[in-house]
Structure formats: structure tokens, C-alpha cells
Structure 1
């Protein structure tokens, strides 16, 4: 079973600590078995967690057995990381262990040197400090999480949920991840990034409009050949206003958001049906199978056929 070790250091933020515990521990495979074994470890017998003291059941040796290590944030991210923790993380990385940070946990991660030369994120408030302390790291303050393969980082608070669900999807496919998302009362994937949450010194939109109803409509109609003009007309706004609202609220464009929604639907169909890839391409709204394959490869990182081999269980053949 996949073991997830959550490293608690002095000053650990309880929200960051509890997020991976709840999300991974509650995840279940299609046959009902637990998807992960979760362990909380610490370099000391007792850890200061602010409002309470924490006695971790496991010591640092559990990091040597982990398949994934999670680094929660600490209240003061500038406090030096215990040398034994840095050594253990570097050794785990050398063995190929996946390591991910939540919120200010990126400061702990960056202190190992493992993120040097890589793109990473953290809470937008801490991004300038992270960039100043670790100039070798390419800090991106405008995304919910960054996946570099073996090393992953997430933004603040709820973005840790996004990252955990993303890792579950990578490990076990979208069906298992979707079930975990429902238990967390979370969407499986939020569009955009931190940019939509950062407080800018500008007056708010006078009508306070939200795109949520429009996004639901677009997802429900993703199989149709939707144009930006048709989307704008449905929303009752000009194409210029539509593009601006999308940039403000999702940090992307209507067309790119629609492509991502179609690919998510295609992933689900690849996992749960025996439909031919060309049929799925048409079903989710791609007029050309070639365009579908190209978009799928760019977004998912593999071909539809390879994705199906990796993530499909054993679906019953469906009659057409």
C-alpha cells in the first residue's frame, strides 16, 4: 500500500497538517480498500502546533519507508529547519520518493535545495519572502499548485486540498479522486490560480457578478461546438467583458477553460467506458480526433490510449 508520511515540525499549521491526513486517509479504491496508509512523523517527541501540543506517533525513520512525503507549513517559515529533517528529505528524494509541500511548507522544501532551478509556489503573501530567501527557486505566486513530477508545491490553505486531489488522480485515476473530492465537498479541479484571490488595490466590480452559473452551463454543453460569441450571448455580456471576467475569476480564457473541461470529461470516459477514442473525441466536443489527441497530450502529458491503459479498471463493454 502507498504510504504517505506527513512531517510535523515546530510551529506546524494545524490546517496544513490535517488536510493530507483527511484527504488521503479517506480515499478508497473501487473495491473499497484504503488507497493510502498515512503516518504523522516528527523530529521531536512533542511538537508545538500553536493552539495545542502534538505527539507524533512516528519518528523520522518513517520517511525512509514513505512513497510520498507531505510538508505542511509552519507559522514562522523563516525558522531554521532541523538538520536531521533536511538530511532525511534529501535522502528520500535520492531514493525517488515523491515530496509535496502545502502553503508555507515550500520554505521547508526550498531549504533542502531540492527545488533549486524549479518552478514552485506558496501562499501569495509568502511568495516574495520565498523568492528572496531562495533566489534559485522560480517562485510563481499565481497558481494553486505546481507539479514538477517528483516534487510538488501548493499555495495556501485550501490549495492543499487541490494538490492532494491532484496526487490521488495521478495515482489512481479520476474516479477515485472524484470520490475523495466529494467526501471533502470540493470540486475535483478548480480552474485558474491564486491570482483570482489576491486582493488588488482597485474598486470591486459594481455588479459583483460571478461566472459560476456560466461555468456549469459550459460544462454541461461542452459536447457542443460552442463559440466565444455564443458563450458571451448566454452570459448576457460582450465578448470583451466575458474575456475580462474569465481572466479575473479563472486566470484563463473561455476557450482554454472549455478545452480543459472537455479533457476532464474525456478522462472520465476513458476510465469508465470501452468507447473508441474517436467516439469519445466527438462526444466531448472535439470536431477532429487529431485535435483531441494533440490537446489531450498537451494537457495530460500522455496519449488517450496510454491514459486508458494506465487508469482504466475493467469496465463492462458498453453497447452502442
Structure 2
């Protein structure tokens, strides 16, 4: 033991005490050492062990701190309860969820694109190998899409630009290009054979059979479908660089303007104008739609006898009243 001016000195931390008992108590509490007569190697080993313990404790504290970061904005919290309460209302939470949903949409769209490429390749192979009868059998396998579930990749860029550049008429152009396009029979989901009647006829996507639906009810579904399609175009522009490069900047701004003011399409006056246009279009293209239904949907002899379409695929409209209201 080193003694400096009558003091008892700790060999580990050089702290001085006036009595050996005080030094002994110090070693017992601080260094857990009962004997102060340690060799230099003993001191080094003890110090090393102390450093390792301190480093481990520091690492554990850092690890705990990392676990207490908000998963949405990385804000730090000392207590888990505080972090949990914050995360429930974090302003970045909704933004992150929107981004994730958009990523899912883009991924699904890419999957649809790949499926369409594979289908087209298969059809091309069939056309090269099979005769006309086999090609017709391929056509019969078409399934009519549900309104609002149409894929963006079915339209060429020129049609997408036409929708965007029509501005306030964009939703009408969207339905015309999407659902009354002779090159996309799988989207021939509805029509009307009477302008004054109160029903559209649409294909039930689950049964692939025609059914009546009130025009004033269905027009809301059609309007929402067209606005959703335009919003999907906007998401592709945001997340798909290859697609974005095909859309001029001024047209990208027009899409933003349409979506920014989309509430105006639901105003009574504007919705009435939208209804009249869709009613006219679905009537003018009824022959195209009914021809598609005739090819892809043979009559079921065991079904109910009250058909919406007769044996010649003419629409039965005798009970269709002419008191359509919006």
C-alpha cells in the first residue's frame, strides 16, 4: 500500500483516505476488492474487466435507444409507452401508408403487364400454329372485367394523352377509350339499348352474365371508375420513371389539375352532363358491346327463362320504363 503524507491511497483510482478502514470500505464498495495489496497485473486485469463491462453497458443503452425510435419519423423516446402513443398519431404515418399502397399498385401493374405480355405471346403462338377455329376458341376465353378494375396497360400512350388533354371532359373520354374500344373486348362491361330507359345492362363479373342496374345508381360507379383510372395514371407517373418519361410535363400538370378539382365532377349540374354523355355513348356503341357478349357468353339452357337478352342477343327492354332520374 502506498502512503502519501500519512494517507492511504487506492492503487486503482489513486483516491486517498485517512485510515486503512476507509480505504478497505472503498475497495469493497467501488472495486469489490477486499485486499488492497494487488500486483500491477491484477490492477490491469481489473481495469480491463471494468472497461469491458462499461462498454457492454453503453452498447446496451445505445441498442435500447435505437429501439425507441419512431418507425415513421425516427423521433427518439425514452419510454416505450411514449413512443407507442406518438406512433398512433404520427403525421408521417398516413404518408408512409399511402406510399406503400402506391408501391403495391405499381407492383401489381407490373405483374399485370407481364401477364399480358405472356398472354399476347401465347396468342401469337396459337395464331401461328392453329387454324381460325382454334383462334375463335381463344376469343371465347375472354373474361369481362369489372367496371373500375381495368388495367392501364391496355391503353396506348396516345389514348392516355387524349384523356389527359381533354381536361374537364377527361372522365368521359376515359370511359369511351376504356370501355367502348373495339380492341379491348374484355372491357365491354355495360351498355344501354334505349336512351329513355332507366336501366343499363352490365356484365356481372362474377357470373359473367348480363344484369340490369339502375342508371342513376350506376352512373356514380362509372364516374368514380374514370376518376380512379386517372388517379392510377398519376401514380404511374410518380413511381414509374419509364412511364413518366412518356408523358410531357404540361400533361402531367393537367392530370394534377383534374384530380385537384375532381369534387366538381360530383356537382349535380356536371354529373347530369356526364350522365347524358355516357348514356349516348353506351347507346351508340351497343352493337359493339352486344356482339362481344354474343361471342363470349353462350346461352345457358338450364338458366331461368326470363333473359335480359333474347336468343338473338337482342335486349329485352319492354319493361324498361322511361322515367330516368338523377
Q: Same fold (TM over 0.5)?
A: no
Which has the higher relative contact order, 1 or 2, with Cα contacts under 8 A spaced 6 or more apart? 2
Q: TM-score, normalised by structure 1?
A: 0.26
Higher helix fraction (1 or 2): 2
Higher strand fraction (1 or 2): 1
Which structure has the greater CA radius of gyration? Answer: 2
